[in-house]
Chain A
């Protein structure tokens, strides 16, 4: 059950097996040392690529973390006699902690605050390495760092260090591979595509970004410690800002967001300058030229080129296979799976006696001087389908955003299943059983259809970040379960046959339904649909109406924003009409249709014709 974005561990094994041969075929220790440096840079670039490519955040201070690893364990070893491996562990822990502290405030914010913060931290580290000269030796560097000692053996030869470095790098790659292939990797890609949708699927995006950032800082620290104990002399200029830039360049050359990007960037950029040494004065120009050409002609890096070539060799592999038969062969979608798509929480039997499912009381929202919503109240009962209509700019989507936690309300109250939910972050509200779709599509474009829906299954899984980094039984079990559930959701929504296709390649109508399937996968009690039929043709609209019918049959209550009157009047039990942020009418479709004000401000002639 290889998911489309899954990275095969077989290639990693093959790669590491190839690396293991290097010390035996290398003609001399110099080549081995170049290989060891390549290992360090692969570790650095892979960690940075997880952050840049998967969490969509840039660190401009990785040289600082690299330096912290080198200096903390170097100073501990040279000045206090701490063994190398202990120093390495202490450095990794300290660097990770620092990254955690930097990440908490900066990763809560969108945009590139992390880049700015890490830029500053990197420069601060560099200054500290120079200024704390009683420990670090200042700008002349720190010498006599003890070599690595493992049990009774003290590592001395390049071959031994090559082995040690590549064992650690191999582990780092393997952990990264597990993460990328796990629900964590999927969620990271998802939040890179659309953070707001990821949050709506119940993903605590800040927490995931923070963990990836810490992991990548720890990778950098480990590489730094290994460098220090291998070379035994370090000086501040190695860890300057320019090296941070070089690391970002490595990731860009290798392929941002591709698992092999770190390797494909770091290995050539380590080897190329060494190779070019033979050209004397032409070294720098040739090096520069190669970089320029790669950036010009390979916008997705070397990894992107390989992917394209592989795609040409095996054209549209995923699409050629009949996905339906694939699904059936795997025996994944059982009848019971289909019937269990809906949450037991969402049962029509849970009657109206429990009070309304969603209550919006006196809700107001102002953006500066603009009143988007004013004193609006309505309720949705269990099992009910409620439509919200009104002219553009009436505040419909704003209400959705307040209810789902994207915006805070200026005044008023939102209660869901009897509980006040304002102030809760979107992912917490999603966990309570409230899901949504988006007016302007927010599918995860870098994932396949089924993986989009699997993100919706995120909340049901329990395995954490570290657990996912290791091949433990629980993450695997949960992945199988999520796949099964996702396929069932797709089948229920009539999306059989496109499960394995890239979500971005689907026709617009199917993308809209995919969003509904993804929302259903979260197991909601109440689903907020924001213009599900906008931009669809008549056939697709009919399909959308059927889908909503199926939701109702499954016991899901629906709050629906829609401009298509035949659809909204056809499926809704009740309709709320907004105008300029105020509720002007509420009632059954028939009542609303005849309301004089509604006809005047919104329905107009159209309804008369209907």
Chain B
């Protein structure tokens, strides 16, 4: 623990004198595999990061009980990014330089925070499993050799949604996205995919995440030929969308993206959420999946174990961290060593990994593992999500 002692002495000597002994207690096993994690479990992004962190803790506990990775215990080091990218930048540096972790799972659970730490892991050549949405985290692969992600891209979700529209005979839709990264990215994806899918986007509308009234946008949409309205956001304004649309008596199909699969938001919208369609991973409707579904058991198993440990329900976001740990552990087990040049090919060999988010397949060309087939259409009906289209 030389480095830690130097840190104490050199930087905050006085504090170290009183608090130092605690540090020594956390002794590391020599051959342990060190997995670092950065989540935001304080600050605005905490509603995602909290369950992610616990999922990692659960995973490590269970994996170590089962003998670790090829006999080596996992040592988990988790830091809080506090929803701030400058904090995450320091945290990732600390994981790499001071804790000397082998890999990192968790990138602060927000796209902008993830993007801020990517240059550091790329330079240090430490594999990172991102749990955030932005496609730019893993593309272009040539510049993101060490970064993988355990979530779905909006490219796949939008494609799945367009398939669903075609199947239902919906030809004209309206897009209503927030002006944040999540919404703007989906708008661009839709713009690129809609013509080839034969879907006409009759209206492009936007709103800010903090907006409390969307009647102006919805009134304009009502005047078009749109048969369905897609709302793309993770902000509370998505509730306003539902309430306003019902108040205006809109009969169109209302659709939310995969960022709104949160029972809390549905409860906030109350009756207005009834019948809402969402493009989602299978996670929220696992119980309804046919027995033949390859990941049904995986999801139910994870949910049950989480509940047993923490006494509360997990969610799809906790599942992303769970999958990230699972795939990373599998790659570590396959690889001949923990060096990045052995681990990256090993991660890229991930084939048909049954995660709680879907079936993951990585390759040298693709560091984002899920496909269109992992996305399903669900509906909020009688105060719970139910499967509409598999």
B237 CB, min distance to chain A CBs, angstroms? 14
Contact partner of A28 (CB less than 8 A), chosen from B16, B98, B185, is: B98
B66 within 8 A of A: no
**Smallest Cβ-Cβ distance to B133: which chain A residue:** A140
Q: A residues within 8 A CB of B4?
A: 278
Given A33-B93, A37-B86, A238-B85: A143 and B6 interface contact (C-beta under 8 Å): no
B90 touching A37, Cβ below 8 Å: yes
A131 touching B90, Cβ below 8 Å: no
Given A30-B98, A140-B112, A274-B94: A233 and B11 interface contact (C-beta under 8 Å): no
B25 CB, min distance to chain A CBs, angstroms? 10
Contact partner of B181 (CB less than 8 A), chosen from A26, A138, A227, is: A138
Question: A residues 251-270 with Cβ under 8 Å of B?
Answer: 268
- A251 and B97 alpha carbons, distance in the complex (Å): 30
Q: B residues within 8 A CB of A158?
A: 93
A131 touching B12, Cβ below 8 Å: no
B136 within 8 A of A: yes
- A117-144 near B? 1/0 per residue, CB < 8 Å: 0000000000000110100011111010
B146 CB, min distance to chain A CBs, angstroms? 15
Q: B residues within 8 A CB of A143?
A: 115, 118-119, 136
B93 touching A273, Cβ below 8 Å: no
Which of the listed residues A28, A29, A284 has the most CB atoms from chain B within 10 Å of its own CB? A28
Q: B residues within 8 A CB of A237?
A: 83-85, 112
- B4-35 near A? 1/0 per residue, CB < 8 Å: 10111011100110010011001000000000
A61 CB, min distance to chain B CBs, angstroms? 18
A279 touching B136, Cβ below 8 Å: no
Given A31-B7, A277-B79: A235 and B12 interface contact (C-beta under 8 Å): no
Q: A residues within 8 A CB of B116?
A: 141, 231, 233-235
Q: B residues within 8 A CB of A238?
A: 84-86
- A61 and B181 alpha carbons, distance in the complex (Å): 24
A139 touching B181, Cβ below 8 Å: yes
- A12-53 near B? 1/0 per residue, CB < 8 Å: 000000000010011111110110010000000000000000
Question: B residues 212-248 with Cβ under 8 Å of A?
Answer: none
A235 touching B96, Cβ below 8 Å: no
**Smallest Cβ-Cβ distance to A271: which chain B residue:** B11
Q: A residues within 8 A CB of B250?
A: none
B276 within 8 A of A: no
**Smallest Cβ-Cβ distance to B143: which chain A residue:** A144
Contact partner of A140 (CB less than 8 A), chosen from B6, B11, B23, B181, is: B181
Given A139-B181, A140-B112: A280 and B78 interface contact (C-beta under 8 Å): yes
Q: B residues within 8 A CB of A275?
A: 7-8, 11-12, 15-16
- A273 and B23 alpha carbons, distance in the complex (Å): 15
Q: B residues within 8 A CB of A26?
A: 10
- B96-136 near A? 1/0 per residue, CB < 8 Å: 11100000000000011101101100000000000000101
B258 CB, min distance to chain A CBs, angstroms? 17
B196 within 8 A of A: no
- A271 and B184 alpha carbons, distance in the complex (Å): 37
B115 touching A140, Cβ below 8 Å: yes
Given A37-B86, A238-B84: A138 and B180 interface contact (C-beta under 8 Å): yes
A140 touching B90, Cβ below 8 Å: no
B2 within 8 A of A: yes
**Smallest Cβ-Cβ distance to B80: which chain A residue:** A283
Q: B residues within 8 A CB of A22?
A: 10
A233 touching B91, Cβ below 8 Å: no
A235 touching B115, Cβ below 8 Å: yes
Q: A residues within 8 A CB of B97?
A: 28-31, 33
- B255-286 near A? 1/0 per residue, CB < 8 Å: 00000000000000000000000000000000
- A268 and B14 alpha carbons, distance in the complex (Å): 11
- A220 and B22 alpha carbons, distance in the complex (Å): 37
**Smallest Cβ-Cβ distance to B100: which chain A residue:** A28
Q: A residues within 8 A CB of B180?
A: 130, 138-140
**Smallest Cβ-Cβ distance to B92: which chain A residue:** A30
A338 within 8 A of B: no
Q: A residues within 8 A CB of B134?
A: 140
B85 touching A31, Cβ below 8 Å: no
Contact partner of B6 (CB less than 8 A), chosen from A27, A138, A234, A236, is: A27
B112 touching A30, Cβ below 8 Å: no
- A200-243 near B? 1/0 per residue, CB < 8 Å: 00000000000000000000000000010001111111100000
Question: B residues 50-90 with Cβ under 8 Å of A?
Answer: 78-80, 83-87, 89-90
- A233 and B118 alpha carbons, distance in the complex (Å): 9
B12 touching A268, Cβ below 8 Å: yes
Given A233-B118, A235-B115: A141 and B85 interface contact (C-beta under 8 Å): yes
A30 touching B96, Cβ below 8 Å: yes
A384 CB, min distance to chain B CBs, angstroms? 65
A35 CB, min distance to chain B CBs, angstroms? 9
Q: A residues within 8 A CB of B118?
A: 143, 233
A167 within 8 A of B: no
B77 CB, min distance to chain A CBs, angstroms? 9
- A33 and B8 alpha carbons, distance in the complex (Å): 16
A272 within 8 A of B: yes
- A275 and B17 alpha carbons, distance in the complex (Å): 13
A144 CB, min distance to chain B CBs, angstroms? 9
Which of the listed residues A34, A138, A232, A277 has the most CB atoms from chain B within 10 Å of its own CB? A277
Q: A residues within 8 A CB of B83?
A: 237
Contact partner of A34 (CB less than 8 A), chosen from B2, B90, B112, is: B90
Which of the listed residues B11, B84, B134, B180 has the most CB atoms from chain A within 10 Å of its own CB? B11
A271 touching B85, Cβ below 8 Å: no
A178 CB, min distance to chain B CBs, angstroms? 29
B179 within 8 A of A: yes
B193 within 8 A of A: no
**Smallest Cβ-Cβ distance to B12: which chain A residue:** A275
- A29 and B6 alpha carbons, distance in the complex (Å): 13
**Smallest Cβ-Cβ distance to A31: which chain B residue:** B7
**Smallest Cβ-Cβ distance to A280: which chain B residue:** B78
A231 touching B119, Cβ below 8 Å: yes
- A29 and B93 alpha carbons, distance in the complex (Å): 8
Q: A residues within 8 A CB of B10?
A: 22, 25-26, 31
B292 within 8 A of A: no
Q: B residues within 8 A CB of A138?
A: 179-181, 184
B136 touching A33, Cβ below 8 Å: no
A273 touching B87, Cβ below 8 Å: yes
**Smallest Cβ-Cβ distance to A34: which chain B residue:** B90
A32 CB, min distance to chain B CBs, angstroms? 9
**Smallest Cβ-Cβ distance to B111: which chain A residue:** A140
A133 touching B90, Cβ below 8 Å: no
Q: A residues within 8 A CB of B78?
A: 280
Q: A residues within 8 A CB of B8?
A: 275
A293 CB, min distance to chain B CBs, angstroms? 12
B119 touching A232, Cβ below 8 Å: yes
A148 CB, min distance to chain B CBs, angstroms? 14
Q: A residues within 8 A CB of B86?
A: 37, 227, 231, 238
- A105 and B357 alpha carbons, distance in the complex (Å): 57
- A280 and B41 alpha carbons, distance in the complex (Å): 11
**Smallest Cβ-Cβ distance to B123: which chain A residue:** A156
B3 within 8 A of A: yes
A28 touching B3, Cβ below 8 Å: yes
B338 within 8 A of A: no
A27 touching B7, Cβ below 8 Å: yes
Chain B positions within 8 Å of A, measured between CB atoms, are 2-4, 6-8, 10-12, 15-16, 19, 22-23, 26, 42, 78-80, 83-87, 89-91, 93-94, 96-98, 111-113, 115-116, 118-119, 134, 136, 179-181, 184-185
4 new A-B pairs (CB below 8 Å) besides A27-B2, A143-B115? A137-B181, A235-B85, A237-B84, A274-B94
Chain A positions within 8 Å of B, measured between CB atoms, are 22, 25-31, 33-34, 37, 130-131, 133, 137-141, 143, 158, 227, 231-238, 268, 271-275, 277-280, 283-284
Q: What would be 10 A-B contacts, judged by CB atoms less than 8 Å apart?
A: A28-B97, A30-B93, A30-B96, A31-B10, A33-B97, A138-B179, A139-B112, A141-B85, A235-B112, A278-B22
Q: 6 shortest A-B CB distances, which residue pairs?
A: A140-B181, A30-B97, A235-B112, A28-B97, A141-B112, A27-B3
